[in-house]
């Protein structure tokens, strides 16, 4: 892998920052933005992008994605290697974590409807489990791709402080998360049949 120069790393950062904070779609525009070298040279944090490009090379995009998931606003003072390492571990165990998460929440809810349904305008079980760090962000995103629950949550969840930001993160991460949707669809059907109405 060849080193990535600081400006190239910066361009990826700006494209992903736009992706996570606006209507800009990183994939649709192939990461291209109107950022200029002049604007980059005026920044006092150029060395940060140089370090990231040299260290992560072709994985620079993944480094930034991992940190934007943790800090969508993209303050580089919060970006670190530990977040990337944890992200890589989640990617490597994606299928196992998804299966474990799904089994646990189905057992807790009794069935997938109880996991996803909004009752009396309150946060549904899946959202509560995610906010409580009981299920991974990746599991939440994959389930959204399978059930498209966010439109119904938009309509039924009454609070408008936490959920809108959560929805935006789910949508933005979904478009840059790589996974075999058909494998997860089949696995989800199997686990729902196997564990629904489980009683502890």
CATH code of the domain covering residue 42: 1.10.8.60
Tell me, yes or no, whether 73 and 54 share the same domain.
yes
| Mean pLDDT taken over the chain | 95
| Distance of alpha carbon 106 from alpha carbon 163, whole angstroms | 22
User: Quick one: 119 and 189 in the same domain?
Assistant: yes
Q: What is the pLDDT of residues 37-56, one digit of tens each?
A: 999 999 999 999 999 999 99
Asked if residue 1 is part of any domain, the answer here is no
**How far apart, in whole angstroms, are the C-alpha atoms of residue 67 and residue 76?**
9
Specify the DSSP class assigned to residue 5. P
Cα dihedral sign, 49-176-137-186: negative
Report, as an integer, the average pLDDT of 143-150: 97
Say if residue 111 is in the same domain as residue 170: yes
| Structural domain contains residue 200 | no
Looking at the structure, do residues 100 and 63 belong to the same domain, yes or no?
no
Q: Of 60, 89, 118, which marks where a domain is finished?
A: 89
pLDDT of residue 2: 52
Q: Please report, in angstroms and rounded to a whole number, the separation of the first and last CA atoms in the chain.
A: 51
Same domain, 47 and 82: yes
Residue 106 has pLDDT above 60, yes or no: yes
Can you give the pTM of this predicted structure? 0.92
| Residue-level pLDDT at 3 | 62
Residue 179 forms part of a structural domain: yes
Is 61 a member of any domain? yes
What is the pLDDT averaged over residues 130-147?
98
Number of domains in the chain: 2
49 and 104 belong to one structural domain: no
pLDDT at 147: 97
Q: How far apart are CA 86 and CA 79, in angstroms?
A: 13
Looking at the domain assignment, is residue 50 inside a domain? yes
pLDDT at 197: 79
Structure confidence by residue, pLDDT tens digits, 51-99: 999 999 999 999 999 999 999 999 999 999 999 999 999 999 999 999 9
**Residue ranges making up the domain that contains 27:** 6-89
In a domain, 49, yes or no: yes
Out of 54, 89, 124, a domain closes at: 89
What contacts 37, CB < 8 A, 6 or more positions away?
Answer: 7
Is there a single domain that holds both residue 122 and residue 43? no
Q: Domain check: are 120 and 161 in the same one?
A: yes
pLDDT of residue 200: 45
- Mark whether 168 and 99 lie in a shared domain: yes
Are residues 135 and 83 part of one domain? no
* 198 pLDDT more than 70: no
């Amino acid at each position: 892998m060849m080193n990535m120069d600081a400006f190239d790393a910066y361009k990826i950062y700006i494209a992903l920052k736009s992706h996570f904070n606006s209507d800009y779609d990183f994939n649709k525009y192939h990461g291209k933005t109107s950022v200029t070298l002049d604007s980059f040279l005026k920044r006092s944090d150029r060395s940060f992008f140089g370090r990231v490009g040299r260290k992560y090379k072709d994985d620079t995009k993944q480094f930034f994605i991992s940190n934007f998931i943790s800090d969508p606003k993209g303050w580089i003072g919060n970006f670190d290697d530990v977040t990337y390492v944890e992200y890589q571990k989640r990617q490597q165990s994606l299928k196992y974590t998804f299966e474990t998460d799904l089994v646990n929440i189905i057992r807790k809810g009794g069935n997938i409807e109880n996991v996803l349904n909004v009752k009396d305008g309150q946060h549904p079980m899946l959202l509560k489990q995610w906010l409580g760090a009981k299920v991974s962000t990746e599991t939440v995103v994959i389930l959204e791709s399978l059930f498209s629950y966010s439109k119904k949550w938009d309509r039924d969840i009454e609070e408008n402080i936490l959920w809108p930001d959560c929805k935006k993160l789910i949508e933005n991460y979904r478009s840059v998360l790589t996974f075999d949707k058909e494998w997860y669809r089949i696995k989800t059907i199997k686990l729902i049949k196997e564990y629904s109405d489980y009683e502890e």
